[in-house]
């Protein structure tokens, strides 16, 4: 009795989305770790008054960390299919570009800064937006251009 083993390889866009999702999960968790997040005692739920800084650089709040965790979970779910992975990367990239613009336009000391963001966050959001969109488009294209294995040919059919 033979058992058929089905190996399903992930497309490049699925791998890229899964890696990005895991990074978001890691960042979400690290935002709750004292020491990795400096001024942890000043972590607030939301708003510009949260002075906790992930890696001493990026402003975080409880809400910010939860959003990172949720974004990671969504990414892992989306990475199950190539279409979902591409959508996650491209749409997520657009979200980060909008967040970058938001960070440029608001007064960082005002109540409008509920995320919260600072200049380092703005640069990170620009990089994430451009990077995620590029990953979504380039890895999806790479997946379309790769062909599957050549069909088996018998002797002399070569």
Q: What is the rounded distance in angstroms from the CA atom of residue 66 to the CA atom of residue 52?
A: 14
Report pLDDT digits (tens) over 64-123. Answer: 999 999 999 999 999 999 999 999 999 999 999 999 999 888 887 777 777 777 888 899
């Amino acid at each position: 009795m033979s058992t058929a083993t089905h190996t399903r390889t992930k497309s490049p866009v699925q791998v890229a989305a899964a890696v990005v999702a895991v990074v978001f999960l890691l960042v979400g968790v690290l935002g709750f770790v004292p020491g990795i997040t400096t001024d942890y005692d000043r972590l607030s739920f939301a708003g510009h008054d949260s002075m906790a800084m992930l890696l001493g650089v990026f402003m975080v709040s409880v809400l910010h960390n939860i959003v990172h965790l949720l974004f990671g979970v969504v990414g892992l779910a989306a990475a199950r299919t190539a279409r979902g992975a591409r959508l996650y990367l491209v749409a997520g990239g657009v979200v980060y570009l909008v967040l970058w613009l938001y960070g440029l336009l608001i007064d960082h000391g005002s109540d409008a800064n509920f995320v919260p963001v600072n200049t380092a966050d703005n640069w990170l959001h620009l990089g994430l937006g451009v990077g995620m969109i590029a990953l979504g488009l380039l890895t999806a294209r790479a997946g379309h251009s790769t062909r599957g294995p050549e069909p088996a040919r018998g002797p002399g059919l070569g």
